[in-house]
Amino acid sequence: MTIKDSLIASLVPIFLGFGFVIAKPAMDDFPPILLMGLRFTFAASILIWWFPIPKGYLLKIFIASLVANTIQYSVTYSGLNLIDASAAVLLVQTEVPFGVLFAYFMLKEKPTIRSLIGIFVAFIGVYILTGSPNLDGKYLGIFLTILGSGIWAFGQVLVKPLSKELNPLTLVAWLALFSGPILILLSNFFDGNSLNYIKSASTTSWIIAIYLGFFMQPITYGCFYYVLKNNPIYKVLPIVTMGIPLTGLLAAILLLKENPTTELYFGGLIILFGVILIIYTKKEKKNN
């Protein structure tokens, strides 16, 4: 990976980790699914006019959007709404071991022994982390957050081929256009009249929604798909995933005044160690 690509990739965890955490207070006014619907609708509204219809790719984009955006963000942020943000940013690191598993079943990439050990270690960390008093009785939130990580990993398998064929911001725009309205409709079905939430939302919640849609979504995923287009996934994931816990934990502690427990730190470190084992293995295999 070039220095330029590394610097661009490093922007992703900064914006994504911060945005993931500050989304939590906005859920006091917006249900998680509605908040994500606004996020993608805002992103599409500023990008769609600048990029032509990607003819021949619409069905593939719709399928990728359904998995990677609509379903994944509904599940992940519903989980975030039920648990502390500091725990959620660590649990989402399971995206990497899930990615190895999907690569095996879908791309026939056989994991090494070290990869299997890394997966095992990462899920031991999840088990320890879930013993934190901050997560006591919040098993649904834990399950949804981990499930969302698995869906995200699956979604990237679908997005990867598209990232090689389309401009990164074109991909961001059209993925968002398909998912935003669907998420708002889903929220209207599950949560009640979306207009009531929109009318009563506080200024702070609107500022967060605007940041997520107009700034975070275009910047983070534009950068992510750009780097993904030019580099193998195993080179991109280390920079993207390893930076999220740092920015996310700092934001949760400083902005949300959360107080992570010893179990959370210990479990999180074990998860990250497992992730490092997986990533190191893939690098080593590539260089050989």
Residue span of the structural domain in which 40 resides: 3-88+135-263
Instruction: Look at residue 284 in the predicted model and tell me its pLDDT.
Output: 45
The predicted model gives 13-40 an average pLDDT of: 92
Q: Distance between CA 95 and CA 198 in Å, rounded?
A: 32
Q: Distance between CA 43 and CA 36 in Å, rounded?
A: 11
Is 105 a member of any domain? no
Residue owning tokens 């080593």:
284
Is 130 a member of any domain? no
Which of 175, 172, 268 lies closest to 225, judged by CA?
172
Is 112 a member of any domain? no
Instruction: Look at residue 119 in the predicted model and tell me its pLDDT.
Output: 77
The predicted model gives 83-101 an average pLDDT of: 83
- Which range (142-156, 188-202, 243-257) has the least confidence? 243-257
Is 244 a member of any domain? yes
Write the DSSP symbol of residue 211: I
* Domain tally, the chain: 1
Instruction: Look at residue 288 in the predicted model and tell me its pLDDT.
Output: 44
Is 25 a member of any domain? yes
Whether 81 has a pLDDT exceeding 80, the answer reads yes
Residue owning tokens 């984009």:
61
Instruction: Look at residue 276 in the predicted model and tell me its pLDDT.
Output: 77
**CA distances (Å), origin 106, targets 98, 139, 153:** 12, 29, 12
Whether 43 has a pLDDT exceeding 80, the answer reads yes
Is 30 a member of any domain? yes
Top pLDDT among 103 and 37 is at 37
Question: Residue 2: helix, strand or coil by DSSP?
Answer: coil
Whether 219 has a pLDDT exceeding 60, the answer reads yes
Is 111 a member of any domain? no
Top pLDDT among 106 and 72 is at 72
Digit-coded pLDDT (tens) for 226-275: 887 777 666 676 566 667 777 888 889 888 888 888 888 888 888 888 77
Whether 104 has a pLDDT exceeding 80, the answer reads no
Structure tokens that stand for 220 in this block:
């983070």
Is residue 239 within 8 A of residue 14, CB to CB? The reply is no
Q: Distance between CA 116 and CA 129 in Å, rounded?
A: 20
**CA distances (Å), origin 268, targets 63, 111, 246:** 32, 23, 11
CA 190 to chain centre: 22
Is 253 a member of any domain? yes
The predicted model gives 196-216 an average pLDDT of: 94
